Structure 1
């Protein structure tokens, strides 16, 4: 399975996020799942790439030219796919994966999550989108989505577009159900 992971490229975040990201990366490698990610050498992005790569898994980095020019490309790439911009990166990451997992992240991760969910809602694909709710990281987003749903701003139940895993066991179950 090819798993696209959206996540933070920041270094100064909760150390538990790194530990939990590494756990996911090791599991992916052990189970022969490929990683598709944004290709940077910082934060949770580099953490998952290193864990998958060091575990013998395949790491596919979809890298915008500005990241590459800035010398911020991960050294753990097995496959390097260059892109001109973030929109192209996002499209390729979505197109080439079987499932998307969102780890803690910021504006970029939110953009990516909602792009995948919106295109799923319209019918462009049927790929599963999973929020890995590490230590309740996504709780405020979940509350917002519930509020939008309650106010009639989302057609149907948003849980049909985005699933939530509150721990690693739940995440593995959702991923294994994708195979």
Structure 2
């Protein structure tokens, strides 16, 4: 079975953030993994666009009841009718996740991933501290390629 890599990030992005999301999606597709995301705009759209441009497959875990609300780069839209609570379902569907930039929704997804023991790679995103010490559960990457390589390595580690 192919590895499922989730891309987490903000609903609204700058042009630079969008380009980075496209790169992450392209790297996921080149690696032969399936991209999972929230299926809507911003970083979700960017990553899905990148994956599709590189011949990859995309899945969107949608907040509403209508699969047609997914962006045009989503192959499989899964309506959940869970709103923001779909974040847990998205994370649970993945072998590892990559958080790219992000707002509070991304932070909630990171928290779900850490709680569910789904590996997290951070790319210009949140840092989390516990009792004044950085949480070792977020593996920091400096580029899209490094983020995907690290996520694949973590996904394959039992």
TM-score by length of 2: 0.84
Q: What is the CA-CA distance between 1:149 and the residue it aligns to? A: 3.2
Q: Distance in 2 between matches of 1:108 and 1:88?
A: 10
CA spacing shift, 1:170–1:177, aligned 2, 3 Å = same
Larger relative helix fraction:
1
Q: What is the CA-CA distance between 1:9 and the residue it aligns to? A: 1.3
When Rg is computed on C-alpha atoms for both structures, the one with the higher figure is: 1
CA RMSD of aligned residues (A): 2.3
1:128 aligns with 2:119: yes
Long gaps (5+) in structure 2: none
TM-score by length of 1: 0.75
Partner of 2:131, secondary structure, is helix
The aligned runs of 1:107-126 (5 Å cut-off) are: 107-117=104-114, 119-120=115-116, 125=117
The list of structure 1 runs, each at least 4 consecutive aligned residues, that deviate by more than 2 angstroms after superposition, is: 166-170
Q: Distance in 2 between matches of 1:65 and 1:45?
A: 15
Q: What is the CA-CA distance between 1:3 and the residue it aligns to? A: 0.5
Tell me how many residue pairs correspond in the alignment: 153
Q: What is the CA-CA distance between 1:64 and the residue it aligns to? A: 1.2
Q: What is the CA-CA distance between 1:73 and the residue it aligns to? A: 2.4
Long gaps (5+) in structure 1: none
Q: What is the CA-CA distance between 1:131 and the residue it aligns to? A: 1.0
